[in-house]
């Protein structure tokens, strides 16, 4: 797992053609605040359900993970690393400090 500031996270993501953006916030947070375009949403608070859904993902991809402030996404990266994912990147500051595009679900 690597903790990346937004500038480095977005730069690396834009140059990565094997990437998946993963949002681990709650459904309520996604609906209220929006989501980064093309992000996959799996709520880390699902517990075992989160692990089950993450295990279905392609481990050969590079995962750019975010939550609201960076704490849950760091936890998600650690879980993913334990499950055999080699490349996970945590967005420091999370969605709260995101300056890029946002898709509103409302």
Give the domain ranges of the chain. 2-97
How sure is the predictor about 10, in pLDDT bands with cuts at 50, 70 and 90?
very high
The CATH code of the domain at 2-97 is: 3.40.250.10
Q: Which of 103, 79, 74, 75 has the alpha carbon at shortest distance from 91?
A: 74
CB 41 within 8 A of CB 29: no
> In which element (H, E) is residue 3 found?
strand 2-4
Name the 3-class secondary structure at 78: helix
Per-residue model confidence as pLDDT tens digits over 39-98: 999 999 999 999 999 999 999 999 999 999 999 999 999 999 999 999 999 999 999 999
**Would you state the pLDDT for residue 105?**
77
Q: For residues 48, 104, 14 and 84, what is the CA-based torsion angle, rounded to 10 degrees?
A: 0
């Amino acid at each position: 797992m690597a903790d990346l500031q937004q500038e480095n996270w977005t730069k690396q993501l834009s140059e990565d053609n094997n990437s998946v953006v993963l949002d681990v916030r709650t459904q309520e947070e996604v609906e209220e605040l929006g989501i980064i375009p093309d992000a996959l949403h799996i709520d880390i608070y699902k517990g075992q359900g989160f692990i089950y859904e993450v295990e279905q993902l392609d481990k050969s991809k590079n995962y750019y993970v975010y939550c609201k402030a960076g704490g849950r996404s760091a936890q998600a990266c650690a879980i993913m690393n334990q499950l055999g994912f080699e490349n996970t990147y945590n967005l420091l500051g999370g969605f709260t400090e995101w300056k890029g595009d946002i898709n509103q679900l409302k």
